[in-house]
Amino acid sequence: MELCNLKDPAERASFATAVRRGIGHGQGLFFFTRPLEPIPGLDGLLDMPFVPRSQRILRHLIGDEIPSLEDMVADAFSFGAPPVVPADDHIHALELFHGPTLAFKDFGARFMARALGAIRGDAPLTILTATSGDTGAAVAAAFYGQPGIEVVILYPRGKISALQEKLMSTLGGNIHAVSVEGTFDQCQDLVKASFDDQELREAVGLNSANSINISRLLAQVTYYFEAAAQLRDSGRRLLFSVPCGNFGDLTAGLIARALGLNARFAIACNANDTVPRYLRTGRFEPRPTVATLSNAMDISRPNNWPRVEALAKLQGWSLGEFACGSLSDDETRAAMRSLYQKTGYVLEPHAAIAWSVLAQHRRDDEEGVFLGTAHPAKFKSVVDATLGIDLPLPGALASRAALEGQALPMQPDFAALRQLLLSLRG
């Protein structure tokens, strides 16, 4: 697989290099250099079960670089195929929230953990990340028990939900949750200071495992094919509605389309609507980020957008082909109530936005699929208050919530963090 830095096309990278480096010079993203070819034998591919099909797709994209790729995919996706569930007339939910942390980020994070494990050889590897909530839980679960990899997750004490804290601090083993006496920004400053310390970076093999890593995107391509396989009998073209934050999920869907999937795409945003406004006006004008109910989409400078534009250009697509919409919090609550009253399907805020944009834009000859990116129980207070129900916590969450956490307390002090990182490499 040959990738290049979108800001500096002279910087080329193999899959392994791009996974190891994460981001290129000048903060440029690694991405494809040539148009993607349709994957051979698409019909037969849709007949295959999820894991063997995903192995074929990722082998097609990545090439021969990683001999153990098939084992990595089987292990990363061991929690099974995401179900496609009817939710409305000719509209289905692709439920991506049945993995270990009940969010779609499990797919990308688990694949990345195994890719990094295979690529690092004998070199030390320490994942260091700051979280204000969900990503930390997915990263912790994904890397838990991976041999030779230590994971340090910083979070601001008292500023994340009790459940989110439990998901990171109850694993133990190679997962080190650090509760920082400070703000999220101070946690991020500590991470930055660590990456700026070249001696430390090399000594412990620092990697941020963040969401711009190409391995995450590629893993996510596979579930669009799974939706197409489960909806094959409809014989219709699909319209996918994607709730967008950093636009990683949308990029993955477009890669699936470039590989031959017969589908159209809708971009669904909350009040942080930089891209919908851009597609309407032609002006890319981010505004200050505002807090909404769908907080994983509270992003006004989506970091994967350059990849969307690059892929459209490579494949000769017009950005005008996207269906597009954005919802306020009031509209989000109204959408949650509307579908619940109509069919009984329970939406959390992110999926509610995707369903609403889908229902507005679906053409009569299309089968609609919206991405269920998180389990409704992860947004229990909003869901309960909006729908007047008492949603039970799924068993996996309930049993983790009952465990005692073992986070390490720390002042926002770089020397203390540095010492911790070095001590893990004893």
The 28-67 site mask, x for binding ligand PLP (CB under 6 A), equals: ----------------------------------------
Q: What is the DSSP string of 341-379?
A: HHH-----HHHHHHHHHHHHH--TTEEEEEEE-B-GGGG
Q: Does 366 bind ligand PLP (CB under 6 A)?
A: no
Q: Does 16 bind ligand PLP (CB under 6 A)?
A: no
Considering the complex, state which of residue 248 and residue 325 has its C-beta at the smaller distance from ligand PLP.
248
Considering the complex, state which of residue 165 and residue 249 has its C-beta at the smaller distance from ligand PLP.
249
Binder of ligand PLP out of 105, 166, 380, 418 (CB under 6 A): 105
| Separation between Cα atoms, residue 103 and residue 145, nearest integer Å | 20
Q: What is the DSSP string of 156-189?
A: ETTSS-HHHHHHHHS--TTEEEEEESS-HHHHHH
Considering the complex, state which of residue 88 and residue 106 has its C-beta at the smaller distance from ligand PLP.
106
Binder of ligand PLP out of 244, 352, 369, 421 (CB under 6 A): 244
Considering the complex, state which of residue 136 and residue 205 has its C-beta at the smaller distance from ligand PLP.
136
Instruction: List Cα–Cα distances, 317 to 236, 248, 264, 289, 321, in angstroms.
Output: 21, 18, 11, 29, 8
Binder of ligand PLP out of 179, 246, 272, 326 (CB under 6 A): 246
| Separation between Cα atoms, residue 216 and residue 110, nearest integer Å | 8
Q: Does 247 bind ligand PLP (CB under 6 A)?
A: yes
Minimum CB–partner distance for residue 371 and ligand PLP (Å): 8
Q: Does 373 bind ligand PLP (CB under 6 A)?
A: yes
| Separation between Cα atoms, residue 258 and residue 190, nearest integer Å | 39
- Residue 100 neighbours by CB under 8 Å, 6+ apart: 79, 106, 110, 141, 142, 396
**∠ CA 343-371-83 to the nearest 5 degrees?**
75
Binder of ligand PLP out of 245, 253, 325, 376 (CB under 6 A): 245
Two structure tokens written together for 319: 């950005």
Binder of ligand PLP out of 61, 76, 103, 324 (CB under 6 A): 103
Q: Does 248 bind ligand PLP (CB under 6 A)?
A: yes
Q: Is 84:136 a contact under the CB 8 Å cutoff?
A: no
Choose the binding region for ligand PLP from 4-12, 154-162, 239-247, 388-396 (rule: CB under 6 A).
239-247
Binder of ligand PLP out of 23, 119, 297, 357 (CB under 6 A): 297
| Separation between Cα atoms, residue 195 and residue 208, nearest integer Å | 9
Considering the complex, state which of residue 371 and residue 421 has its C-beta at the smaller distance from ligand PLP.
371
Q: What is the DSSP string of 384-395?
A: HHHHT--PPPPH
Minimum CB–partner distance for residue 125 and ligand PLP (Å): 24
| Separation between Cα atoms, residue 294 and residue 351, nearest integer Å | 9
Q: Does 374 bind ligand PLP (CB under 6 A)?
A: yes
Q: Is 368:239 a contact under the CB 8 Å cutoff?
A: yes
Q: Does 368 bind ligand PLP (CB under 6 A)?
A: no
Positions 131 through 160 that interact with ligand PLP (CB under 6 A): 134
Minimum CB–partner distance for residue 313 and ligand PLP (Å): 20
Q: Does 296 bind ligand PLP (CB under 6 A)?
A: yes
Task: Output the CA torsion sign for 107, 112, 117, 118.
Answer: positive
| Residue count, binding to ligand PLP (CB under 6 A) | 15
DSSP class of residue 251 equals H
Binder of ligand PLP out of 99, 100, 182, 243 (CB under 6 A): 243
Q: Is 213:68 a contact under the CB 8 Å cutoff?
A: no
**∠ CA 409-413-419 to the nearest 5 degrees?**
80
Considering the complex, state which of residue 136 and residue 245 has its C-beta at the smaller distance from ligand PLP.
245
Binding site for ligand PLP (CB under 6 A): 103, 105, 134, 243-249, 296-297, 350, 373-374
